[in-house]
Amino acid sequence: MTLQEARALGTVMETPAPRPSRARFSLGRWLLPVYSALALIFLLVPIVYTFVFSFNDSLKSNISWRGFTLDKWTNVCAAQGVCEAFGNSILIGVIATLAATTLGTAIAIALVRYRFRFRTGVNLLLFLPMATPEVVLGAGLAAEFLGLGADMGLVTIILAHTMFCISFVVVTVKARVTSLDPALEEAGRDLYASPGQVFWRITFPLLLPGIVAAALLSFALSFDDFIITNFNSGTTDTFPKFIYVSAARGVPAEANVIASAVFILAIVLVLAQQISAAARRKRLAKVQ
Amino acid sequence: MAFSAFASAAPAQEPAPKRRSKIALLLLAPGVLYLVIFFLVPLFTLVTTALQAPTASGDIGQYVPGFEIGNYATVLAQYSPQILRSFGYSLVATVFALLFSYPLAYFIAVKVRHRPLLQNLLLVLVIAPFFISFLLRTMAWKSMLSDESFLVSALKGLSLMAPDAHITGTPFSVIFGLTYNFIPFMTLPLYAVLERLDTRYLEAGSDLYARPFTTFRTITLPLSAPGIISGVLLTFIPAAGDYVNASRQFLGGTGTTMIGNVIDSNFFDLQNYPAAAALSIILMSAILVLVIVYILLSVYVWKTGTEGLL
């Protein structure tokens, strides 16, 4: 294959479908791009607002603009309870993510790789939590914990979050297990690797991107959950619950600082991943 | 079984392997057990709680096991406005989200298809709201729409709004908040199906002298049906159960309470657990009916797979 041909192939692989011939199908050449730009700006408005008001020299309530300050950024924990709530959210997110990712990954492997009875039942059990409104999940768990006489707090929140994260982990990891070629593991076994070696040296590394994606999704779901948490938290505050509770008298600007910092971190991670993936695509096209 | 078609979304060809069911059991047991204990048992607890009767002394928050089917009649009679409002608000919000998202998803999925980096960046913008707290986003809208806000004073200054009118605390602001918060849940499944749309069909349509609208109605729309259905469910289900937007601290008022708000207040303020449980069961049943309708429609009418939902 000549270099030109390879390059052409690379381009073709990058653009799986032919270009739409614009002149004929666009709802007017500019209407759609302009609408899309406005729609995206609309989606971002509250984010910008939250970020801008993290610099507001506000007192208790953070509704009207009172002047620019960096104080809230340099002294985040000044608002009572906000850092404690944030710490709780991180702790809950990490433990629930670890638990849900472990349980969910095992289920995903079993679903794709093994034949067993009650498959339909297991699929249904995984699907239903995703189709159940949060308020029902929250009230049900709270009724159960109440009946058991359990103290509501960190432990009950973690138990609840692990539950609703499992299904999302299974869906995410399952896609990865499906795309995994069993021949690779067979090759390992043929070379006398023990089942443990096959799993840790071959299966696990190949599944890792899916597992990481699932873990990130779980953490994000746990971190931002309010409704289920509210039913099962007792007096313990998480970051979203802190906002809900303080909403009546005004959310302090420090909450905006934390949310903005988390947002920036998340968006930087996602953009870095996107850009490196694009660079890899380009490099691959060149090498070929 | 329809349900297995529904649940096994990703693989078109389940490899149906054989081998050692003991290992399968070992892998499945912990997670399945967990879901039984913390998902199924709670649902069952709701069913039994909804049938509980007050104690003889009638203490607040004290109930004994019973078979009070009448609890359902009581909450239906007492809270039918909230129940109907929940489904009404979320239906309207779902329609708005669909109208808002479809052109956006089409643009990202089809029009910028030949520029993968731009496409991915635009997708990141769609999901960007997920990276900032749901409650703060809603709080931000509350501030921007409140009576002291720039927008409202400008509208009043221009006499476009009556001096004593409000935006927050009205059905409008609640539906607005629901729409805003669930737009990404609508856009993503639409994107997923439109991204696979083969534009050669569209060319074929116009080669056969179909007007753009006809091409859209007869080709694009049917091909994106699975995404529309998924998006509608992913928006409608959480919107119907949401009580943040409708609560008074956020975008709602006294006349906008939804079923989630009354479940919350019955549970915590009134400690009327049977009523909260009965309302939860009513909400859950209504949603299940919708899901089953979805399965029937997708399998028998649209004859599409169920990809994209999960």
Distant-in-sequence, close-in-space partners of B296: CB < 8 Å, separation ≥ 6: B2
CA distance B12 to B29: 25
Size (chain A), residues: 288
CA distance A152 to B119: 44
Contacts of A12 in chain B (CB under 8 A): none
CA distance A36 to B246: 28
Residues facing B54 on adjacent strands: B63
Average pLDDT over residues B96-122: 93
Residue with tokens 């309010």: A226
Quick: pLDDT tens for A195-212: 889 989 999 999 998 999
- ipTM of predicted complex: 0.87
Mean of pLDDT over chain B: 86
Per-residue confidence at B304, pLDDT binned at 50, 70, 90?
low
3-state DSSP call for residue B197? Answer: coil
Spans of all domains in chain B: 78-257
Give pLDDT, residue A286: 84
Low-confidence ranges of chain A (pLDDT < 50): 1-23, 26
CA distance A115 to B21: 7
CA distance A105 to chain B (A): 9
Contact A47 B137 (CB under 8 A): yes
Average pLDDT over residues B108-118: 91
The residue that leads in pLDDT, B43 or A17, is: B43
Alpha carbon dihedral B162, B163, B168, B172, in 10-degree steps, equals 0
Work out the widest C-alpha separation in chain B, in whole angstroms: 79
> What is the CB neighbour count within 10 angstroms for residue B153?
12
Q: Which amino acid is at B172?
A: F
The CATH number assigned to the domain with range A80-251 reads: 1.10.3720.10
CA distance B296 to A240: 38
3-state DSSP call for residue B10? Answer: coil
3-state DSSP call for residue A56? Answer: strand
| A131, A135, A247 member nearest B139 (Cβ) | A247
CA distance B159 to chain A (A): 22
Residues facing B63 on adjacent strands: B54
Contacts of A32 in chain B (CB under 8 A): 103, 106-107, 111
Contact A142 B243 (CB under 8 A): no
CA distance A2 to chain B (A): 24
Give pLDDT, residue B17: 53
At the top level of CATH, the class of B78-257 is mainly alpha
Q: What angle do CA A162, A163, A165 make, to 5 degrees?
A: 65
For helices A82-113 and A204-224, angle between their N-to-C axes, nearest 10 degrees: 140
Contact A120 B284 (CB under 8 A): no
Among A259, A98, A277, A207, which residue's Cα sits nearest to residue B132?
Answer: A259
Alpha carbon dihedral A211, A215, A217, A219, in 10-degree steps, equals 180
- Scanning chain B, the segments in alpha helix (DSSP H) are 2-7, 21-35, 41-49, 70-106, 116-127, 134-145, 150-157, 171-194, 199-207, 212-215, 221-223, 225-241, 259-268, 273-296
Is pLDDT above 90 for B306?
Answer: no
Give pLDDT, residue A257: 95
Give, as one character, the DSSP assignment of residue A59: S
Per-residue confidence at B302, pLDDT binned at 50, 70, 90?
low
Which of B28, B183, B281, B292 best tests the A interface by mutation, with the highest count of A CBs <10 A?
B28
pTM above 0.95, yes or no: no
Is pLDDT above 60 for B307?
Answer: no
Residue of chain B nearest A106, judged by CA positions? B27
Distances in whole angstroms, Cα of residue A116 to Cα of each of A112, B7, B14, B28, B195: 11, 16, 13, 10, 35
Among B107, B227, B99, which residue's Cα sits nearest to residue A36?
Answer: B107
Give pLDDT, residue B235: 92
CA distance B294 to A30: 36
Q: Are strands B63-64 and B53-54 parallel, antiparallel or unpaired?
A: antiparallel
Give pLDDT, residue B141: 95
Residues of chain A with CATH 1.10.3720.10: 80-251
Contact B136 A243 (CB under 8 A): yes
Among B229, B232, B231, B236, which residue's Cα sits nearest to residue B304?
Answer: B229
Helix (H) or strand (E) holding B53: strand B53-54
Give pLDDT, residue B18: 55
Per-residue confidence at B242, pLDDT binned at 50, 70, 90?
very high
Contact A131 B21 (CB under 8 A): no
Cβ burial A244-279 (10 Å sphere, 16+ → b, else e):
bebbeeebbbbbbbbbbebbeebbeebeeebeeebe
Lowest mean pLDDT among A243-252, B85-94, B285-294: B285-294
Residue of chain B nearest A41, judged by CA positions? B125
Identify whether the C-beta of residue A214 lies closer than 8 Å to the C-beta of residue A105.
Answer: yes
Identify whether the C-beta of residue B94 lies closer than 8 Å to the C-beta of residue B236.
Answer: yes
